[in-house]
Amino acid sequence: MAMAFVDLAAQQARLQPRLDAAIQRVLAHGRYVQGPEVAELEQRLAERVGVAHCIACGSGTSALQLAQMGLGIGPSAEVIVPGFGFVASAESVALCGAEPIYAEIEPSSLLLDPQALEALITPRTRAIMPVSLFGQCADMHAINDIAQRHGLTVIEDAAQSFGARHHDRPSCSLSRVACTSFFPSKPLGCYGDGGALFTDDDELAEQLRRLINHGDAGRYQHLQLGMNSRLDTLQAAILLVKLDAFDDEVARRQTVAERYDALLAELPLDLPQRLPGNISVHAQYTLQLEGRDNVAAQLREAGIPTAIHYPRPLYRQPAVANPDCHLPNCEAACTRVLSLPMHPYLERTQQVQVAEALQQALAY
Ligand SMILES: *Cc1c(COP(=O)(O)O)cnc(C)c1O
C-alpha cells in the first residue's frame, strides 16, 4: 500500500466500534447542536489543560477570530503574528478589521523570535499571537514578559500543539486566551471542522459563549454581533472517543520523531529543533535543507509523500499581504522546509524507506 502523509484510516480502524457507538448515541438523542457531548468534551479538555474554561467552536480559524472579538480587537488595532506559518493566524486578525504586523522567526525552531517583538510595538498594538508551530510552543515566558511590560494580551495559536507542554505546563494554558483546531489532520482531529478556546478569565469566557452563538445572551437577546460557530455534537462525540487514545498517540508520535532523528542524523540537512523546556506533539516532522524542491520531486518519484509547510511568507499571501515587509528568516524557511510523513501509526520499516529515499535524493 502507498505510504500516507497522515494515516487517519489506521486510527479509525483501531477506534471503529467505539466511534460507531458514540455516533449512534448522538443520532438517538438527536441534540445535534450544543448536545451533552459538547459540554462533556469542554469539561474534559479544560481539566486536561488546567484552565477554568474551554469553549468549543466551529474551527480553529473561528476560535482565533472569536478570541479577538472577545477582546474587542477591531479596526485600528494591530496584532503581531509571525511572518511564517499558516494563513489563518494573520487572516483572523484581518477578519476582525485589525492589521496583522509580521514578526521575524528564530531560524532553527521556526517559531516567533521574542527578540523581534519590541521593535514592532506601537501605540496601536493590542495583542501578540505566537503560533505553536509543528507541535511545539514558542518561548512563551519571554513573550508573556514583553506583553506584560507593554500592557498587551497574548493569544496562543495552539492549532498544532494541543497536548504539548512548555516548561511543564500544557499548551493552551500559557496565555490569556488560547485557540486550538480539531481539523482532521491535527494531532487531536475530528471528522470535519472544529476548534476550541481556552481561558481562565470568567468574563471573557462568558463573552465567548455569547459570541459563538450570534451574540445571544439568552432567549434571543442579541446584545452584540457574534458568529454561528458551534462545535457539532457529532464531532464532540467523535473527539471524546479520540481523546481516550490521545496520550498513546502522542507517545507514538514521539517515537516516530525519535526514529526519524536517529535515521536522518548523518544526512546533510537540518533536523527539526525543539526548544528547551518543550515537549512537542509532533504535528509535523519538518526538515530544512538546500535544494528542497529537487529532493521533494525525487521523493515523490520514490512514492514518498511530502508537504511544504509553508511555501510563502504570510506577508506575500495576497489576502494578507504587506509589500513593505522583508523578514529574511521567514523567507529562507519558505525555500528550505520539507515535511515528511508523520502520524502515530507510521512504522519503522516505512521510516527506513523514507530515510533511504532521502539519502539517495541528497546524493543525486
Ligand atoms: C490549522 C491551523 C489553523 C486553523 O484551524 P482550522 O480549524 O483549520 O480553521 C490556525 N492556525 C494554525 C497554525 C493552523 O495550523
DSSP characters for 85-134? S-HHHHHHHHHTT-EEEEE-B-TTT-SB-GGGTGGG--TTEEEE--B-GG
Query: Element (H or E) spanning 29, and its range?
Result: helix 8-29
- For residue 23, which phi and psi values (nearest 5 degrees)? -65, -45
Task: Tell me the Ramachandran region of residue 218: left when phi exceeds 0, alpha when psi lies from -120 to 50, beta otherwise.
Answer: left
Q: Closest Cα partner for 330 from 118, 162, 103? A: 103
Q: Mean pLDDT across the stretch 316-334?
A: 98
The pLDDT of residue 223 is 87
How many whole angstroms from 314 Cα to the centroid of ligand 1?
14
CA distance 322 to 332: 17
Mutate to test the pocket of ligand 1, among 157, 190, 239, 281 (most ligand atoms within 8 A of CB): 157
Q: Which residues are paired to 178 by β-bridges? A: 156, 198
Q: What is the pLDDT of residues 200-223, one digit of tens each?
A: 999 999 999 999 999 999 999 998
The mean of the pLDDT values for the chain is 97
CA 92 to chain centre: 14
Which grid cell is 30? 438527536
pLDDT at 1 over 80: no
> Residue 88 C-alpha to ligand 1 middle, in angstroms?
6
Find out whether the beta carbon of 42 lies less than 6 Å from any atom of ligand 1: no
Q: Please, how many CA atoms are within 13 Å of residue 318, restricted to the half-sphere of its CB? A: 0
C-alpha to C-alpha distance for 217 and 237, rounded to whole angstroms: 26
Please report, rounded to a whole number, the percentage of residues in the chain having pLDDT higher than 70.
Answer: 100
- Minimum-distance ligand 1 atom for the alpha carbon of 183: 7
Residue 335, H or E segment: helix 328-336
Say how many Å lie between the CA of residue 2 and the centre of ligand 1.
27
> How many angstroms separate the alpha carbon of residue 141 from the centre of ligand 1?
23
C-beta of 61 in contact with ligand 1 (< 6 A)? yes
> What is the CA(57)–ligand 1 centre distance, in A?
13
pLDDT single digits (tens) 88-122: 999 999 999 999 999 999 999 999 999 999 999 99
pLDDT digits (tens, 9 = 90+) for 252-306: 999 999 999 999 999 999 999 999 999 999 999 999 999 999 999 999 999 999 9
Supply the pLDDT for residue 265.
97
Sequence-distant (≥ 6) Cβ neighbours of residue 355 within 8 angstroms: 260, 263, 264, 267
Which mutation among 81, 180, 181, 308 tests ligand 1's pocket best, with the greatest number of atoms within 8 A of CB? 181
Mention every residue, 6+ apart, whose C-beta is less than 8 A from residue 66. 55, 57, 179, 197, 208, 211, 212, 227, 229
Q: Is the pLDDT of residue 68 over 80?
A: yes
Q: What global pTM score does this model have? A: 0.98
Determine the residue type at 281: V
Closest ligand 1 atom, residue 131 Cα: 13
- pLDDT tens digits along 120-178: 999 999 999 999 999 999 999 999 999 999 999 999 999 999 999 999 999 999 999 99
